[in-house]
Amino acid sequence: MLSQPLAERMRPKSLEDYIGQKHLVGEGAVLRRMIESGRIPSFILWGPPGVGKTTLAQIISNKLEAPFYTLSAISSGVKDVREVIEKAKSNRFFNTVSPILFIDEIHRFSKSQQDSLLNAVERGIVTLIGATTENPSFEVIRPLLSRSQVYVLQSLGKEDLLELLHKAVSEDILLKEKHIKLTETDALLRYSGGDARKLLNILELVIAAEETDDIEITDDKVVERLQENPAAYDKGGEMHYDIISAFIKSIRGSDPDAAIYWLARMVEGGEDPEFIARRLVISASEDIGLANPNALLLANACFDALRKIGWPEGRIILAETTLYLATSPKSNSAYMAIDDAIAYVRESGNLPVPLHLRNAPTKLMKELDYGKEYKYAHSYEGNFVKQDFLPPEALKMRFWKGQDNPAEARLTEHMRKLWGERY
């Protein structure tokens, strides 16, 4: 145990020692009530790194005295899932609590891996507890999501972090033997970003550098120990979960100063430049779209140029594209149109293609009126002629709605000249 990292040594064993997430496990909170009742449904814990997802799953297992199996989505495949389910079957006895299967980073599981869980979850062979830093609505398949509750965990607040710090220096088996004075804590709290594991890792790093057991923690000492790149700590967690979200929302909100700030945070934190560039391409289509179609061209050019130029000059290319997107007019009409159309397709099913729009490469197809009465637009004045291009059942549907910006105003006006009141 003494060789374990501080964060592991400080891992709580009970709800009484668990810090944070009072909205879920505080007195009378929803998850605590279920735990105390001795019965829990399958659920997914969604939240940033270091807020207690894995710890909470282990505490629940201990409290319910249930067999506990754990898989990591990074290293486990369908075969591993099936093997664990078979073990769980053999450990399930009549009228006992279902074994708990904890899957860390469940958002990384492929569709086939998630599908392999469905039957076991549905039949109660296992109670699934998934942990994810990504929105489960996008990353977890719908059938599995419908069989699970989703609970959102929050970054730890200042009071929670301070409680953890004082608990560590006074109760940890190694630290309590030293004389540690927490003179200043602002730097520790700031660099932790609400992540308990990161906080304890930084504390341990600072203490390990001391040659005496009389240790005073100050902000300057923390900054010195972390040197010039504190943001690099656990970049795969905070960077992906929080900062990229703030970055994209700043672009969407047309705030170039905020967008360039979050870009700088990612650059300093050692984020993968291609990851940033991919997000810019998505933003160009999702948030700017037809209000400025050149945004997508520039974002694509940014991605290509970044691969050619590399680092560190690539930061300038990312900055140019970020500022262009942030200062561009915004429209999500393309995004809304495809989502509305997909929703209609799912509701209406596979409506037949009208005969006049069908291809007619054979004589039989021509005899069946495939392609008959189709009007070739270029044969008419202005390269346009009115005809129906939707199935009859969908003729009244409108999926694309031009938004209030100069570019789409021109497009809408052109459509009105062609189609009249339809637009």
Return the domain boundaries, the chain. Answer: 21-152, 158-227, 235-327, 351-422
First to last CA, the chain: 70
- E strands, 144-297, where? 149-152, 179-182, 214-217
The predicted pLDDT at position 382 comes to: 86
Confidence label for 227 from pLDDT (cuts 50, 70 and 90):
low
Least Cα distance to 119 among 73, 86, 91 occurs for 86
pLDDT in tens, 1-46: 556 888 889 999 888 899 999 999 988 899 999 988 888 889 999 9
Q: What percent of the chain shows pLDDT beyond 90?
A: 26
Parallel, antiparallel or unpaired: strands 43-46 and 149-152? parallel
CATH architecture of 158-227: Orthogonal Bundle (1.10)
The predicted pLDDT at position 159 comes to: 92
Measured CA to CA, the distance from residue 291 to residue 285 in angstroms comes to 10
**Which fold does the domain 235-327 belong to in CATH?**
Zinc Finger, Delta Prime; domain 3 (1.20.272)
Residue 21 φ then ψ, to 5°: 55, 40
Residue 5 φ then ψ, to 5°: -60, 155
In residues, how long is the chain?
Answer: 423
The predicted pLDDT at position 316 comes to: 93
What would the CATH number be for the domain defined by 21-152? 3.40.50.300
The model carries a pTM of 0.58
Measured CA to CA, the distance from residue 405 to residue 401 in angstroms comes to 12
Burial 78-109 (b: 16+ CB within 10 A, else e): eeebeebbeebeeebeeeebbbbbbbbbbbbb
